[in-house]
Structure 1
Amino acid sequence: MRDLAPAVAAMTLVVVASNILVQHPVTAFGLADKLTWGAFAYPVAFLVTDLTNRRFGPAGARRVVYCGFAIAAALSIWLATPRIAVASATAFLVGQLLDVSVFARLRRQTWWRAPLLASLAGSGLDTVLFFTLAFAGVADMSAPTALLGGAVAAPLWVNLAAFDFLVKVAAAAALLAPYGALMNAIRPFEPAPAAR
């Protein structure tokens, strides 16, 4: 478990920062009803998970997810509202475990495929769960807004979720560069050969 301590610490930092930042809209460029600062911090959690999965395999990555979940949930309850903390913990756990599974299945394919597709799958599920649990039915978050700036109206929290996911898609692509740079420095996990 000592080998996983840096990944657990990184995961905890990312999740706690994201829980605080999701409460603050991006006010520049008229994005206040479209985006929160949490959208920029949270995708790094998938990079941490994928690098851990590469080095320690799915079992090690799941340990980091569970430890990061427990520590971050406890800190988030203290630093964020209880509803956001519960929504974050639930979405984090389910989204990250999906990321671990997808990455493990794709790990032997082209180097970029596993981290990109795992991050997109995990991010999509995380976004839907988090925004629904955190904001659905909250009066301030349910005011109608133009979905993605178009002609269709949707509750503010749905608009925030849509823009959040777009940022996560862009971040998943952008984080391929650090993943690619670090993957050569991180010895890949090799599962034990099956017993005969």
Structure 2
Amino acid sequence: MTRNLIPGILAMAAIVVASNILVQFLFGQWLTWGAFTYPFAFLVTDLTNRFQGAAAARKVVVAGFVVGVICSLIGTQIMGEFGPLVTLRIALGSGLAFLTAQLMDVQVFNRLRKGSWWRAPLVSTLIGSSLDTILFFTVAFSGALAFIEPANDVSWATEVLPLLGAGPMVPLWVSLATADWLVKLSLAIVALVPFRVIVGRLTERIA
């Protein structure tokens, strides 16, 4: 079983490392390049769940969490223009969001696995992605949680601006979270294509 998990663990680790690197580079005004790689972690979790079950998927998630923690620890030692690349709040938000959202994905997928082929991966990813976005951006940037790391100035994230530049007035971090969430929802649909292809090919090999 452990050997069979190696492909999933390696894929998850690669996505987590890539996302931690790419999150440092902006894509437009509201996103980073990491927003386009991280959602595929849900694809890895769902494929593992589909072929090896929920217990195996949880092991892959834990492996990804450990890799994420290591990346965060490294990030705290790298100084950027305004301080460490990874602050306590970002590290806490990232870890909490990843672990909670991925485990939720596993649970939802497992409950829906007997339905139509697309139902379990789509619904579980949509729920997991939404939870991930809410937890990360709230913990990392919400002014209400400033007590977590008082020395970390996130006033830039609480500046009130139009939502995505055109909507109602909200803190900047809400626009960042909304843009991130919309990308995750879009990629949840896109990921159905590789999910279907990979499942089909591996099923043929097993048969």
TM-score past 0.5 threshold:
yes
Q: Of residues 29, 47, 51 in structure 2, which corresponds to 1:55? A: 51
User: Is the CA contact 1:43–1:168 (under 8 Å) kept in the aligned structure 2?
Assistant: yes
Partner of 2:32: 36
Gaps of 5+ in 2: 76-84, 144-153
Which residue in the other structure is 1:10 paired with? 11
Work out which structure has the larger RCO, using CA pairs closer than 8 Å and 6 or more positions apart in sequence. 1
Q: Deviations over 1:152-185 (max 9, x none)?
A: 1111111010011000010000010000000113
Matched, 1:45 2:41: yes
Shift of 1:45: 0.2
For residue 139 of structure 1, report the CA deviation from its aligned partner.
1.0
Equivalence map 1:3-152=2 (5 Å): 3-27=4-28, 32=29, 34-79=30-75, 80-83=85-88, 84-137=90-143, 138-152=154-168
Distance 1:21 1:147 in 2: 24
Contact 2:20 2:71 (C-alpha < 8 Å) held by counterparts? no
Unaligned runs of 5+ in 1: 189-196
Among candidates 168, 179, 204, match of residue 163 of structure 1: 179
| The 10-residue stretch of structure 1 (17-26 or 171-180) with the greater mean CA deviation from structure 2 | 17-26
Alpha-carbon distance in 1 for matches of 2:118, 2:138 = 30
Secondary structure of 1:145's aligned partner: strand
* 1:36-71 per-position Cα deviation (integer Å, ceiling 9, x unaligned): 222111110000000000111000000111111112
Which residue of 1 is the match for residue 79 of structure 2? none
CA contact (8 A) 1:36 1:160 kept: no
Residue of structure 2 in register with 1:191 after alignment:
none
Counterpart amino acid of 1:12? A
Shift in Å at residue 82 of structure 1?
A: 3.5
- Provide the rounded CA distance (Å) in 1 between the counterparts of 2:157 and 2:139: 12
Report the Cα offset of residue 187 of structure 1. 4.3
Decide which moves more: 80-89 or 96-105. Answer: 80-89
Give the partner amino acid of 1:51.
Answer: L
TM-score w.r.t. the length of structure 2 is: 0.83
1:78 & 1:186 partners in 2: Cα distance? 37
Q: Which amino acid aligns with 1:127?
A: T
In 2, are the aligned partners of 1:144 and 1:153 still within 8 Å (CA)?
Answer: yes
- Aligned pairs, number: 183
Counterpart-to-counterpart distance in 2, 1:86 and 1:2: 31
